A and B are shown apart, each in its own frame.
Chain A
Amino acid sequence: MVTEEELANMSPEQMQELQKQNCIFCHIISGKVASKKIYEDDKVLAILDINPANPGHILLLTKEHYQVMPQIPDDEISHIFMVAKAISHACLKALNAQGTNIFIANGALAGQKAPHFMLHIIPRMDVDGIKIFDLPEKDISDNISEQIRAGLSNKINELFGIKTEEPIVLDRKTEKVGKKDENQKKTNEPDEEPNKEVVTKEKKSNKEENSDINLDEISKFMIENEPKK
């Protein structure tokens, strides 16, 4: 066992190594734990879920230990989805399924149970009694929708490196940049002009932006004795 003190002094690399050692899916990938393998290549492994929502429920795992989707590089995520399409087709063909659900849970709150990224492929039948993937409908006011649209549209374009003329509508955005300054010593812009700050921030490269997400916050199931900050 690792002591709390040792944990606190660990580098991110060591931390990741420790997570891997404790990850059941990494053990399945390395073959230390037995599983029913459906498909395997250099990047992914597909196995049968031992607690299936339906017969033929498949877990598609990345061989690399990623906790959540934002950590996965583009080429790997495209590969995962292409394999998922092929496996979904296999379910229709081999199991005579009448449909499939492809499902990803990102973060403990979204229903993710293990700190290893996976994609679920669930074969469906007309009368299988699964209701959870039928999405309800809600009334969302146009005003809220428009705010969300503006905020998201800006951010996504920014992530793709596309410059937009649109002004930033969400107040939250400015708030957030200000908050970040407290934690990140590297930002030197003055605090008095939050609006200007947002603009300069937008000009930064995507890569920097990506790393801003606090992934540990998203997936709160690191290792049990995670060092407290």
Chain B
Amino acid sequence: MSQKNNCEFCQIIDKKAEAKRVFEDEKALAILSPHPCCAGHILLMPKEHFSIIEQVPDYLIAHLSKIVNKISIAVFEILQAKGTNVLIQNGVAAGQKTNHFMIHIIPRKENDGFNFQWQPKQLNEEQMSTIELNLKEVTKGIGEFEKEENKPVKLDSEIEKINKEDNYLIKQLNRIP
């Protein structure tokens, strides 16, 4: 897969490139970010190459989330952080800069210069209700989560379907050198 060969993080996962590894198991790798936004900025990623969260199977998300929680606890204790931010940038529009899906864990300290505060947008009741209805229509289907046993069959079919559907997001990401 050429996408995988071009991916900075797949190279790190395959140990072809250096990185400061913080945690590793058979499915996931956590490293200190090579482009840190602060000391202790951690990237947690699946070892398999996925571009966006929609491609990552549910059971892998579940696995990653447990590691996020442990990393967050470790950050509080070891780095004496006063808070942590967990951030996923999904798509170029959301600030994603790499073609490999990852979760950012950012330790926070007093006066560290970060500001994750947004300016609230004003929406009227009608706009809110439209959004509510549109979303509800789609979220009706949530509830069945992929289990790991189905991996060989489900994984392939899922990726194919989503590639088509989210073509735009993936295409945009592929443009990143």
Tell me the A residues contacting B by CB distance below 8 Å. Answer: 36, 38-39, 41, 46, 48, 51-56, 58, 69-70, 72, 74, 77-83, 85-95, 97-112, 122, 124-126, 128, 130, 132-138, 140, 144-146, 148-149, 151-157, 159-160, 170, 172-173, 176, 210, 212-213, 218
Contacts and interface: CB of A to CB of B under 8 A. Distances in A.
Given A77-B69, A106-B83, A152-B74, A46 B95 contact: no
Interface stretch (B8-16, B50-58, B149-157): B50-58
A81 B138 contact: no
Given A78-B66, A95-B131, A148-B79, A137 B37 contact: yes
A98 B83 contact: no
B85 A104 contact: yes
B69 A70 contact: yes
Interface string B122-135: 01000111011011
Contact of B109 (A109, A134, A145): A109
B87 A109 contact: no
Nearest to B103: A102
10 closest cross-chain pairs (CB), A and B: A99-B91, A107-B83, A110-B83, A78-B62, A99-B94, A53-B118, A51-B120, A99-B93, A81-B65, A98-B93
Contacts of B7: none
B74 A72 contact: no
Contact residues of B: prevailing secondary structure: mixed
Contacts of A52: 120-121, 123
Contacts of A36: 128-129, 132
Interface residues of B, number: 83
A152 B20 CA distance: 11
A50 B36 CA distance: 33
Contact of A103 (B87, B138, B143): B87
B38 A138 contact: yes
Given A82-B58, A104-B85, A135 B104 contact: yes
Contact of B22 (A87, A136, A153): A153
Given A81-B62, A156-B23, A90 B120 contact: no
13 contacts: A38-B136, A53-B120, A78-B65, A87-B139, A88-B54, A110-B84, A122-B94, A122-B118, A124-B93, A135-B106, A145-B39, A152-B42, A159-B74
A160 to B, nearest CB: 6
